Every structure is written in C-alpha cells, then in structure tokens.
Amino acid sequence: MPTFAIRLIRFVGRLLLALTAVAAAAVVFLLLIVVTDGAASGLAAWLTTVAVAAGAALWLGRRRTGAARLVPFLPVVVAAALTASVCVPTVPTDRRQPPALPFVATQHWSLATGSRVAVYHYPPTASATRHPVPLVYLNGGPVRGISLLDHRFLRLLAHQGYDVYTYEQAGGGRSDLLPMDQYTISRSVRDLAAFIHRLGPGKADVLGFSSGAVVLTRALADPSAAARVHRAVIAEPGPMDGPTTRIAGQRGRPSARGLAPAMTGPRSTHVPRYAVAFGLMRLGLLTPGTGLIGQAEGDNAFTAADLGSDTASAYCARDAHRIPREDSARNFSFSAAASLRIQQTVKDTPSLAPRLGRSRTPAMLMMAECSSQVRQWETAVLAADPAVERTQYMPGVGHHLWNGLDDNDDRAAAVITAFLQAKPAPLPNYPTRDDIPVFLRARK
C-alpha cells in the first residue's frame, strides 16, 4: 500500500477518534446539565466536564514526550469551546417587557393574590347599545402575551357594546413575573376571581380561549370563583385535569400543520444555549426552574418563530398559504418555563368532573372544525358540566377561532354575543351531550 494511503488512513482514524472524544465530552456535559439541573448557568456541568476530559487527556499523553503530549488536549479544547456556548447568555438576563401598545393604554393592577398584571380596557363604543355586564377575556398560552390579532377581536366586541377587560396572566406579556414555584393552575383561577373582584361588586361574563378556557373551566368548579362569573364562554379548551391530559384521542378536521410555509424570523432554538435549555425542558429533563437559564432570560430569548408549526396548527388546511400575522416581534411574549410549570400542575390534579358537575353558571362551549385540540379535551367539559347550555361547532376555522380571515371574526362575535345576551344561537346546538359518542365516531 502506498505511503500516502497509509498516512491518509492514519489521519482519518485519528480524526475520527478526536471527533468521538469531542462528542463523548458533549454527551457527558449534557448528562451533567440534567443531573445538576443546569446549576450556575451550566458552569457546574461545564467545569466538571472539562476537568474529567483534561484528566483523560493527561492519562492518554503520559507516555508521550514533547509537543506530542499536548495532542490529546486538542479535543478537550474543542469540546470546552462548544459546550461553553451553552453557558453564555446571548440576550439580557433581566426582564425586558414589550413596549407599550399605541392603540390602548396598559394599566397595571395589583391583585389580592399578590400578582401584578397588565390590564387593557376597551370601553363600549358610544354608538352601540351598552351591555350591562363587563366582559373579561382570558387568552391562551398559558403564560403568553395577548396577540395583536386578539386585541383586534376585543375591539370588535367593544364596538358591539361590550365593556371589555383583559389581562395578561402573571408572567406573561407586560405582567410581572412570579417565583417559578408559584405558577400553578390554582393560582391562575384565584387571579381570575381577584381580577373580577377588582372590577366591582357584581359579576362578569368571561370568555376563555385555549388554556384560558382551562382556567375558566376550573373556575366554574370552584364555588368562590364561580360566584363572580355571570356567563362563561369556553372556547377551544385544553385538558382540564390530570385524567384528561392522559387522553390520546382524535383531533378535528386537518389543520395547516405541515402544510404552511415555515415561519420566518430569528429563533432562539438556533442558539446552542436556548436549544439545549428549551429542548431539555420540553422533554422533562430540566425543571421549569432550572438554573441553566433564568425565567427572565428565557422570556427574552423565546421568539414567535420558535413556535414553529404550532401556529399553523391553529388554522384549517385550506388556509395553509394565507395564515395571517398574529403578532409583531415587538409585542410577542411567551414564557416557555412558566407555561410548562402550569401545565404540569394541571397534569398533577385529580379529576375535575365531580366538582364541575355541581356548576350552575350558564356556559357555552365553542369548538372549531379544524381544531388541533384533542376532541375529548373539549367533550369532557360538555359531559361533566351540566350548566353548558349550548355548543357551537364553528365550521371553516381552526383552533384560533377569530383570525381575521374572511368573516371569521364576525361569525365568532355573533356566536359569543348571542349567548351572552341569551338570544337564539346562530348555529345549531351541536354536539349535545347525547351526541358525544356519535360525534367522536364521525371524527369531526
């Protein structure tokens, strides 16, 4: 065999060994990140990894002389540089709230629960017939800023005579952060009750969407919170309790997930630090309160593009190539860690059905034709709550029922206002409780 070929084989072999050493160090580092829960911004794992790798390099070079003794340290240097990128913040580590909105004032209310939340008020238009009961909107997330698309829909309701209030739940948008262990679904319910109490002595109508619908559903099962709710609109709810979260059921008609063009814009998950942090948190290998990234840093880093296909899943397949821009980069805010923490507390709760079965607050369930939610999450509410007076199955829309496309906002508003005013529904009452088995078998 020619000398050149022998040298090439030896070089490739040494290169593969070096790459294996770098990969092994990275794996050890990730394992230590998990074991230490990212302590000290990952430095505990990094220092331990470098020390172990350096010790191994010393042992491998013990019989070598001169500069050859330094060769085993090259993979150590490369691995140290790569893993160090997980330990260095690339965004501010203190809270950076979105700037003020130009079309509505941001108020900050301190609730009796200790939460300080950002509040937006859309008073009824003077030309409209004023509805006597205030309307409170709970957005999805769970810990996410209210999108510009939602703000536009709330203005539409105000133009129809509703005195609309909404707030970004603690930790979301322009609201103040909470200690991580205080993000619980029960805290969210108490915040809702405290918010309505702050409005005045009477009751309020409440519109809850997605995870906001979960908060509302659980409030209806809590007598003290339910006493402040006049009428409840439960729109596209997620799982309401632990047993429901474990249902692996069907979804609605096909959504635009996998069909829509990929979202553009910067992604925090393209940065090693945040790719590791958010990825391991999503897998349950890091706690939401991990020491790898602080809550404020995580909020600052997460972008709308990081949601990926989640946004497309909120629209029908037929709308895949005309999905509207839901929010601006300056207004977008999402706390992945706090949201995971609240979702975990939902998973840890026992069945809500016995308590929800005692609810007497008039309620309406809204379901989308192309819903990305598991259908049994929605039908579980219908089956358990005897006070659900009507169900409105919304054709032609996905999870985001009011989305600015065609006449979808007007149709959603018509359904909501008809129920709040106890007027005949614009759509059939479907599915009813008796319809649930057939509805699920029909895979609607």
- In DSSP terms, 388 is beta-bridged to 363
Do 135 and 236 belong together in one domain? Answer: yes
Tell whether 268 is covered by a domain.
no
The answer on pLDDT for 347 being more than 80 is yes
Give 160-199 pLDDT, tens digit per residue: 999 999 999 999 999 999 999 999 999 999 999 999 999 9
CA 413 to chain centre: 24
Instruction: Give me the pLDDT at residue 326, please.
Output: 94
Largest interatomic CA distance in the chain: 94
Instruction: Give me the pLDDT at residue 1, please.
Output: 54
Do 73 and 111 belong together in one domain? Answer: no
Q: DSSP assignment, residue 202?
A: S
Whole-angstrom distance, CA of residue 368 vs CA of residue 408: 11
Do 111 and 80 belong together in one domain? Answer: no
Position 24, amino acid: A
What average pLDDT is seen over the chain? Answer: 93
Do 236 and 168 belong together in one domain? Answer: yes
Do 74 and 156 belong together in one domain? Answer: no
What residues contact residue 178 under an 8 Å CB cut-off, 6+ apart?
A: 115, 170, 171, 187, 338
CA angle 346, 229, 158 (to 5 degrees): 105
CA distances from 35 to 27, 29, 39, 44, 311 (A): 12, 10, 9, 10, 33
Lookup: tokens for 202:
């009477």
Tell whether 437 is covered by a domain.
yes
Give 7-47 pLDDT, tens digit per residue: 655 665 666 777 887 888 899 999 999 999 999 999 999 99
Instruction: Give me the pLDDT at residue 8, please.
Output: 58
Q: DSSP assignment, residue 145?
A: P
Do 234 and 144 belong together in one domain? Answer: yes
Instruction: Give me the pLDDT at residue 12, please.
Output: 58
Lookup: tokens for 128:
């409209």
Q: Which of 49, 84, 119 is the last residue of a domain?
A: 84
Instruction: Give the position of tokens 């059921």.
Output: 249
Q: What is the CA radius of gyration of the chain?
A: 26
H/E segment holding residue 107: strand 107-110
Q: DSSP assignment, residue 343?
A: H
Instruction: Give me the pLDDT at residue 110, please.
Output: 98
The answer on pLDDT for 57 being more than 80 is no
Tell whether 338 is covered by a domain.
yes
Alpha helices by DSSP H, 221-335: 223-226, 242-245, 272-282, 295-301, 309-312
Do 68 and 113 belong together in one domain? Answer: no
Lowest-confidence segment of 29-33, 69-73, 155-159, 275-279 by average pLDDT: 69-73
Lookup: tokens for 336:
């992945």
CA distances from 387 to 96, 221, 261, 408 (A): 42, 11, 41, 27
Q: Residue 23 sits in which domain range?
A: 3-84
Instruction: Give me the pLDDT at residue 262, please.
Output: 85
Whole-angstrom distance, CA of residue 24 vs CA of residue 311: 36
Instruction: Give me the pLDDT at residue 168, please.
Output: 98
Lookup: tokens for 54:
């350096």
Tell whether 93 is covered by a domain.
no
Tell whether 272 is covered by a domain.
no
Instruction: Give me the pLDDT at residue 11, please.
Output: 60
H/E segment holding residue 440: helix 436-441
Instruction: Give me the pLDDT at residue 67, please.
Output: 65
Tell whether 299 is covered by a domain.
no
Instruction: Give me the pLDDT at residue 323, please.
Output: 94
Do 79 and 120 belong together in one domain? Answer: no
Q: Check whether the bond before 142 is cis (ω within 30° of 0).
A: yes
Give 216-226 pLDDT, tens digit per residue: 999 999 999 99
DSSP of 68-135? GGGTTHHHHHHHHHHHHTTTS-SS-SS--PPPPPSSSPPEEEE-TTS-EEEEEEEPPPTTSPPPSS-E
Look at residue 290 and give its three-state secondary structure: coil
The answer on pLDDT for 242 being more than 90 is yes
Number of CB atoms found within 10 A of residue 149's CB: 16
Give 381-435 pLDDT, tens digit per residue: 999 999 999 999 999 999 999 999 999 999 999 999 999 999 999 999 999 999 9
Measured in residues, the chain has a length of 444
Average pLDDT over residues 73-85: 88
pTM score of the predicted model: 0.93
Do 401 and 311 belong together in one domain? Answer: yes
Whole-angstrom distance, CA of residue 45 vs CA of residue 112: 41
Q: DSSP assignment, residue 126?
A: T
Whole-angstrom distance, CA of residue 176 vs CA of residue 118: 8
Instruction: Give me the pLDDT at residue 4, please.
Output: 63
Alpha helices by DSSP H, 37-102: 43-60, 73-84
Instruction: Give me the pLDDT at residue 6, please.
Output: 60
Do 330 and 388 belong together in one domain? Answer: yes
Average pLDDT over residues 300-315: 91
Lookup: tokens for 416:
């909501």
* Total tally of structural domains belonging to the chain: 2
Give 133-150 pLDDT, tens digit per residue: 999 999 998 999 999 999
Tell whether 219 is covered by a domain.
yes
* CB environment 49-75: b (16+ within 10 A), e (fewer): bbebbeebbeeeeeeeeeeeeeebbeb
Which domain CATH number covers 330?
3.40.50.1820
Do 376 and 312 belong together in one domain? Answer: yes
Lookup: tokens for 52:
């172990």
Tell whether 27 is covered by a domain.
yes
